[in-house]
Amino acid sequence: MKDHDLNFLELVQSSLKNVEECDIYQVNAMLEENREFYLIDVREDREWVQGFIAGATHLGKGIIERDISSVVIDKDELIVLYCQGGFRSALAGENIKKMGYKNVKSMSGGFSEWVNNDFAVDKPQ
């Protein structure tokens, strides 16, 4: 794990009081069961092009607040956000909850844990 600044980690912990987490196994099961939910990758463009979870939509953390409403119309739909390690997704999740999205989760462990467990990864065409 990267050495993150203590203030950043405190900010993430504060966000996680408002944003529920789910793990990679729960997300993988929901995908395998074809459950209806929005899987949103909030990583940077340079991370996305190296690989992502199949079925994910890319809305980087820098633009998610601006563009989420064009992807998720119904604010009651389940949204699962992920980043590389589970920190930025928590921060982004807190912001879109403030915008009225009610069912928002952050995937703990992020894409790195997904890859470490040999779950399927897709690449841009």
Average pLDDT over residues 60-82: 96
Residue 57 lies in a domain: yes
Structural domain span for residue 70: 6-116
Residue 109 lies in a domain: yes
Residue 121 lies in a domain: no
CATH number of the domain at 16, please.
3.40.250.10
Cα 61 to chain center, whole Å? Answer: 9
Number of domains in the chain: 1
Residue 88 lies in a domain: yes
Residue 1 lies in a domain: no
Q: What is the pLDDT of residues 10-40, one digit of tens each?
A: 877 888 788 899 999 999 999 999 999 999 9
* pTM, full prediction: 0.91
d(C-alpha 18, C-alpha 33), whole Å? 27
